Structure 1
Amino acid sequence: MNVFSSAAPAATFSSLSEADPMKQQIIDFMRDFSIETTPGSALKIPDYREHLRPGAKVAVTFLPGSDFADTIATAKRLKEEGFQPLPHFAARSIVSAAVMEENLKKLQAEVGIDEVVALGGAVDTPLGEFESSMDLLETGLFDKYGIREIGVAGHPEGSPDISPQGLKDAITWKNAFAERTGAKLYIATQFCFEAAPIIAWDRAIQAEGNKLPIHIGAPGLATIKTLINHAKACGVGPSMRFLTRQAMNVAKLMTVNAPDKLIMDLAQYRAEDPNCGIAKVHMYPLGGLKKSAAWSYAVVDGDFTMDPKGKGFKVTRDIG
């Protein structure tokens, strides 16, 4: 059973010809997806080449309380195995501009990168002089060390740490920064469980002047229990109600779910609305990288069948 949903009524397909365009929309939407890993999970993955295709973009986290040296080591390993690592720079966990510069020096000396993700970070009290990704951008250090593309945070369902006006102001500032400096920025979002709030958010920020492309966060394959735990920890908003409804049935807690309905609805939105700001999908492999990557590649390859009632699709390949 699929718990990822949209508030909009499900479309139904009266013939295969109606389903085929939708299938191509999904394939196009998932093509060139990126995925996330942590230094901790990297220790449990003998070789990323067993799960990812050459050149895949892989975001590498810098979690609260961790050592950035581990982020560098994971990025170096990914580069050596043929992938493009995207290290996270979490502002509130960086003590000073000097430390930030040293980390960039090490990354370029040991790895060689041209893209990073700049975030505020899940730390209540900043460890140093930075509070937000905007503070990191203002240092000019990313440009100094050859970073040509930067992901910055976006929150389709709001944030428990930032007011709605604060979020609006941040989007406005980031757009102005990109225009003023020529920096290539994109918005990297938290994961959500339904399409409707994402679409509403995209339209709202477009109306307010957003020009930055959006890399939308999607939860990978995981049990309902795992998804709920991650959603609570990350402050996911109203779309989590779809999970909690399912959780009322204890028997479903350990059911593995895929984000097919979410992906289908967003793919349709991107294909049908010329003003859609969503450019790519970023997968959060909450239940493990192996299955989420296998599922994503199956979708990219078209190995799935559409649900005739418009409830999503089902991957037909064995993903283990």
Structure 2
Amino acid sequence: MSARTSARAATFINAFSLEVSAKAMPALHAEAARIPRGTTISIPYLANEDDDARLAATRAVRELGFEPMPHLSARRIASRATLERFMERAASEAGVERCLLIAGDLAAPAGPFADSASIIESGLLERCGIKVVGIGGHPEGHPVMNSDERWQVLQRKCEGIEAHGMAPWIVTQFAFDADLVLAWLDALRTRGISVPVLVGVPGPASIARLVRYAAMCGVGASASMLARYGISIGRLLGTAGPEVFVDRLVQGLTEAHGQVSPHLFPFGGIAPSLGWVEQYRERVATSKHYAP
């Protein structure tokens, strides 16, 4: 790495956030000392968990000294009162000031919210003290919208969040192709969308598990794409970390890309993901080209 790339890599890796489900809170507690205080911990909305479990997770994250960011799955929220009750409790019990909005995977909404934009426009978030609202980014495309529609919707959501007095973030699905992510970031900034971006990065895991999660989440995992990630399709019994992906991403980032940081999906467990962060940080710091 050049001195400039090493410095960029250090800034990038030190700004990581982490996705942790409610059921993984004991593991987060066990590894909490390895995570900087104030780190954003994203809590996914899983269909087999109820609001009490999600609220318990947000409280646990706050008690450990981190910043909880619960997900809200628009189409799974049964009523406006349900959302309001959850947000009021999240604010009062866990000091929640940020959340991540997703449409959800139901074909038809269970209540009044058909998509994340409808939650933004409800006015409930700012009234409950939310300051930062995350929305999804799709470097690999969207299963329903074409490219022009995708950009228009993203722009409108960012503008809507700002119009309601909150700050937008974009959180992307994890990916295996850094060049594809860089091209998407170029397009994002060219369109004048300058908000912070959290790029989804799969933590180290077995290759079979990574491929399985990719299939579940609609992420491209062709042989050529996996090869760019550093995975040979012929060695599915091994494990893989994201160092090739992160190296390529960091090398391609410039000041024009603005604030970009890694959002880790710890598919192989929280401890291995944190171990990878520590190893990557050490490799950057001890590089002979590193200039602090």
Shared fold per TM-score greater than 0.5: yes
Residue aligning to 2:281: 300
Q: Is the 8 A contact 1:91 1:119 kept in 2?
A: yes
Residue aligning to 2:22: 39
Residue aligning to 1:201: 184
Instruction: Call closer, same or farther: CA 1:33–1:240 in 2, change over 3 Å.
Output: farther
Residue aligning to 1:15: none
Aligned counterparts of 2:20 and 2:189: Cα–Cα separation in 1 = 30
Give the superposition deviation at 1:145: 0.8
Residue aligning to 1:287: 268
Is 1:121 equivalent to 2:104 in the alignment? yes
Residue aligning to 1:235: 218
Aligned counterparts of 2:273 and 2:142: Cα–Cα separation in 1 = 25
Aligned counterparts of 1:212 and 1:237: Cα–Cα separation in 2 = 25
Residue 204 of structure 1 aligns to a residue in which SS? Answer: helix
Aligned counterparts of 1:107 and 1:222: Cα–Cα separation in 2 = 32
Aligned counterparts of 2:123 and 2:9: Cα–Cα separation in 1 = 38
Residue 160 of structure 1 aligns to a residue in which SS? Answer: coil
Give the superposition deviation at 1:286: 1.1
- Between 153-162 and 140-149, report the one with greater CA deviation: 153-162
Instruction: Call closer, same or farther: CA 1:46–1:144 in 2, change over 3 Å.
Output: closer
Residue aligning to 2:40: 57
Aligned counterparts of 1:181 and 1:204: Cα–Cα separation in 2 = 25
Between Structure 1 and Structure 2, the one with more helix by share is: 2
Instruction: Call closer, same or farther: CA 1:244–1:261 in 2, change over 3 Å.
Output: closer
- Between 65-74 and 233-242, report the one with greater CA deviation: 233-242
Structure 1: unaligned runs, 5 residues or longer? 1-17, 309-320
Give the superposition deviation at 1:161: 3.9
Which residue of the other structure, out of 86, 97, 122, is the alignment partner of 2:80? 97
Aligned counterparts of 1:180 and 1:235: Cα–Cα separation in 2 = 32
Is 1:214 equivalent to 2:225 in the alignment? no
Instruction: Call closer, same or farther: CA 1:74–1:28 in 2, change over 3 Å.
Output: same
Moved over 4 A (4+): 43-46, 238-241, 244-247, 301-306
Give the superposition deviation at 1:300: 3.3
Give the superposition deviation at 1:237: 2.9
Give the superposition deviation at 1:35: 0.4
Residue 280 of structure 1 aligns to a residue in which SS? Answer: strand
Aligned counterparts of 2:201 and 2:27: Cα–Cα separation in 1 = 22
Which residue of the other structure, out of 26, 41, 50, is the alignment partner of 1:67? 50
Aligned counterparts of 1:55 and 1:86: Cα–Cα separation in 2 = 12
Q: Is the 8 A contact 2:243 2:280 kept in 1?
A: no
Give the superposition deviation at 1:225: 0.5
Q: Is the 8 A contact 2:132 2:167 kept in 1?
A: yes
Residue 198 of structure 2 aligns to a residue in which SS? Answer: strand
The alignment's C-alpha RMSD in Å is 2.5
Query: Which letter maps to 2:182?
Result: I
Give the superposition deviation at 1:69: 1.6
Give the superposition deviation at 1:277: 4.0
Give the superposition deviation at 1:47: 2.8
Which residue of the other structure, out of 94, 105, 109, is the alignment partner of 1:111? 94
Aligned counterparts of 2:207 and 2:123: Cα–Cα separation in 1 = 42
Residue aligning to 1:177: 160
Instruction: Call closer, same or farther: CA 1:166–1:238 in 2, change over 3 Å.
Output: farther
Residue aligning to 1:274: 255
Aligned counterparts of 1:65 and 1:162: Cα–Cα separation in 2 = 28
Q: Is the 8 A contact 2:133 2:161 kept in 1?
A: no
Aligned counterparts of 2:136 and 2:121: Cα–Cα separation in 1 = 15
Aligned counterparts of 1:35 and 1:144: Cα–Cα separation in 2 = 26
Structure 2: unaligned runs, 5 residues or longer? none
Residue 125 of structure 1 aligns to a residue in which SS? Answer: coil
Give the percent of matched residue pairs that are identical in Structure 1 and Structure 2.
28
Give the superposition deviation at 1:41: 2.2
Aligned counterparts of 1:83 and 1:34: Cα–Cα separation in 2 = 10
Residue 297 of structure 1 aligns to a residue in which SS? Answer: helix
TM-score, normalising length from structure 2? 0.89
Residue aligning to 1:150: 133
Residue aligning to 1:313: none
Instruction: Call closer, same or farther: CA 1:238–1:294 in 2, change over 3 Å.
Output: closer
- Between 86-95 and 52-61, report the one with greater CA deviation: 52-61
TM-score, normalising length from structure 1? 0.81
Query: Which letter maps to 2:67?
Result: Q
Aligned residues: 287
- Between 260-269 and 46-55, report the one with greater CA deviation: 46-55
Q: Is the 8 A contact 2:126 2:164 kept in 1?
A: no
